[in-house]
A = this chain, B = another copy of it.
Amino acid sequence: MIKSGTMSDFLSGKEMKVHLECFPCFLRQCVIAINLSGQNGAGANEIVRAALVDIQNADLDKSPAHATTVMHRTLRERLGTDPFFEIKHRYNAIAMELYGELKEKIASSPDPLGTAARLAIAGNVIDFGIYSTIDIEGTVERALNEPLAVDDSDAFHKAVEQSTDILYLLDNAGEVVFDRLLIEELVKRGKKVTAVVKAAPIINDCTVEDAREVGLTELCDVVDNGSDAVGTILETTSPEFRELYNKADLVISKGQGNFETLLGEKRPAFFLFQSKCSVVSRVLGLKEGSMLLVGNAR
């Protein structure tokens, strides 16, 4: 068990519940999904109405990810299709075009593991559940040249060094190319990495097809978590996943959804993500768009 005990203070007492500002955002996510599906007119309106029922029934004491999990299930069911199917493949391809250049940045860096971690945070900008336009290259520059808002890099390096089994919770398609680069650094250091994908499509989250598409399945074990939830809602995951989660030396968790849903959990973990909304940013006391590498390892 790692006991670096660094930034736990930063996370202490913070919890994610549904805030007032989440409600319009839930519907914005709903509109993004419907627009991507091509559905419109009266059919689209009926689907919004169904989503409104989910939002009304949401448990506001749980994380926003709990609420959107139910809403996105309804959306997929009513749309009869995965609205993010095409955009996921497109962004896997776009990110793969950057792979060589990013690999080079890591190789020429004095701190390849740290640089790979920062690039993994940059890749978290690829999120079509929340954004409708993104600037990947600008975000890469920002991640490499500006300080992270919370930077537990030293503890992260130490935790990686002391770990053998690392469970890597992936977030989005496209972004997974950036994760592959960080996982390559971990594998190079002799770590046994298990990368975790969603068991079914949810927003633009990475599934096993995406992991395969970007070559990750040839690099490390890729398993699904048995769940179609936003983030990692443990009670919706499979016993097999929970066993991996409970026995890993270290968890590397990508994205705001995993952060929201695992905040408060006691496993040694580092969260690599961008704080994408006003609610999470306010809870963290940070500006929107902040980049974090924050650990609860102790």
Contacts and interface: CB of A to CB of B under 8 A. Distances in A.
A45 B60 CA distance: 8
Interface stretch (A18-26, A79-87, A222-230): A18-26
A240 to B, nearest CB: 36
Contact of A23 (B30, B53, B56, B60): B30
The copy count of this chain in the complex is 2
A277 to B, nearest CB: 13
A16 to B, nearest CB: 15
Contacts of A45: 18, 20, 60
Contacts of A21: 31
A11 B216 CA distance: 55
Interface residues of A, number: 24
A27 interface: yes
A31 to B, nearest CB: 5
Interface string A129-159: 0000000000000000000000000000000
A40 B20 contact: yes
29 contacts: A18-B45, A20-B31, A20-B34, A20-B35, A20-B40, A20-B44, A20-B45, A20-B48, A21-B31, A23-B27, A23-B30, A23-B31, A23-B48, A23-B52, A24-B24, A24-B25, A24-B27, A24-B28, A24-B30, A24-B31, A26-B27, A27-B27, A42-B60, A45-B60, A49-B56, A52-B52, A52-B55, A52-B56, A53-B56
Contacts of A48: 20, 23
Contacts of A20: 31, 34-35, 40, 44-45, 48
A53 B55 CA distance: 10
Given A42-B60, A52-B55, A52-B56, 19 more contacts: A20-B31, A20-B34, A20-B40, A20-B44, A20-B48, A21-B31, A23-B27, A23-B30, A23-B48, A23-B52, A24-B24, A24-B27, A24-B30, A24-B31, A26-B27, A27-B27, A49-B56, A53-B56, A56-B56
